[in-house]
Amino acid sequence: MKELQLGEFEEIVLLTVGILHGDAYGVTIRNEIESRLNREVSVGALQTTLRRLEKKGFVKSAHGEGTRARGGRPKLYFTITAQGQKAIASSRETRNALWDALPQLIANPK
């Protein structure tokens, strides 16, 4: 179980990589999170998280093409691994289990 644990930001990044499916690299991930969650993300925080996820084996990276806007620099694409999928699934399960155990009154605040 333990190796599947995710931090809050890790979970967001991992999910976003999944959402972008095949088009996930630094810029798109950041834009996606910023637009969906309406929160500012720094390149530094995002990149260190991505490295961490890669190290844990939840994502893997692949060398991509460069564009003019990037000054010819290559993109680094991220895709979610099977292990990564397990991790978000497990995270969702634990959340659901917790939600189920929550009394109605608190679960639906007015």
Closest approach of another protein to the CB of residue 26, in Å: 3
CA 5 to chain centre: 13
Query: What is the distance between the alpha carbons of residues 87 and 76, in angstroms, rounded to a whole number?
Result: 22
Residues 18-57 that bind another protein (CB under 8 A): 25-27, 30-31, 42-45, 47-48, 51-52
Encoded one letter per residue, x for contact with another protein by CB under 8 A and - for no contact, window 55-74 reads -----------xx-xxx-xx
User: Per the structure block, which two tokens stand in for 58?
Assistant: 């939840």
Query: What is the distance between the alpha carbons of residues 79 and 58, in angstroms, rounded to a whole number?
Result: 9
Residues found near another protein in the complex (CB under 8 A):
25-27, 30-31, 42-45, 47-48, 51-52, 66-67, 69-71, 73-76
